[in-house]
Amino acid sequence: MLEIELKQLSEVVKETESAANSFMNSADELRKIAKNVDSAIARKLEDIATRIYEACSFQDLTGQRIKNIRNKLTLVSQNAKGNKPLAEQEKTFEQSLMNGPQDSGIAPDQNEVDNLFNKTQVQKN
């Protein structure tokens, strides 16, 4: 049960990886062109190439969300086969810290993380 759906999700991850690599290859082309144009245009092309690279992190972030969905669907599938009630897998403390990206409405930005990081005291053993 759900094998086809799980496979579809794997295909999504492969396709997004392929797309991200295509975008980054295009960014590399822009950088090559930048070497042969005047400096003002070169800077703009370099900047565009950098923005493309930055944006390609979508593949990692969507992949993490899809992984979470896959894990949940696998659990549903296993539970369905065994006719057991749906139950969360028991996680170790370390596993409980790995949740992937938070929702866009609640995820902190870098400034908020920096504030928290800077005010966190390190306990000396």
Partner 1 sequence: MSIKDLQILIVDDYKTMLRIVRNLLGQLGFNNVEEATDGQMALTKLKEKNYGLIISDWNMEPMSGLDLLKAVRADDKYKAVPFIMVTAESKTDNVVIAKQAGVSNYIVKPFNADTLKQKLTSVIGQF
Residue ranges in 77-116 that form contacts with partner 1 under rule CB under 8 A: 94, 97-102, 107-110, 113-114, 116
Whose CA is closest to 10, among 56, 69, 51?
Answer: 69
Contact 13, 66 (CB under 8 A): yes
Q: Which is nearer to partner 1, 1 or 54 (CB)?
A: 54
Please provide the distance, in angstroms rounded to a whole number, between the alpha carbons at the two ends of the chain: 50
The binder of partner 1 chosen from 2, 42, 53, 75 (CB under 8 A): 53
Q: How far is the CB of 76 from partner 1 (least distance, A)?
A: 21
- Burial label, 31 (beta-carbon count in 10 A; 0-12, 13-18, 19+): middle
Please compute Rg for the chain using Cα positions: 21
**Identity of residue 60:** D
36 contributes a contact to partner 1 by CB under 8 A: no
The binder of partner 1 chosen from 2, 6, 48, 64 (CB under 8 A): 64
17 contributes a contact to partner 1 by CB under 8 A: yes
Interface positions with partner 1 (CB under 8 A): 17, 20-21, 24, 27, 46, 50, 53-61, 63-64, 94, 97-102, 107-110, 113-114, 116-117, 120, 122-123
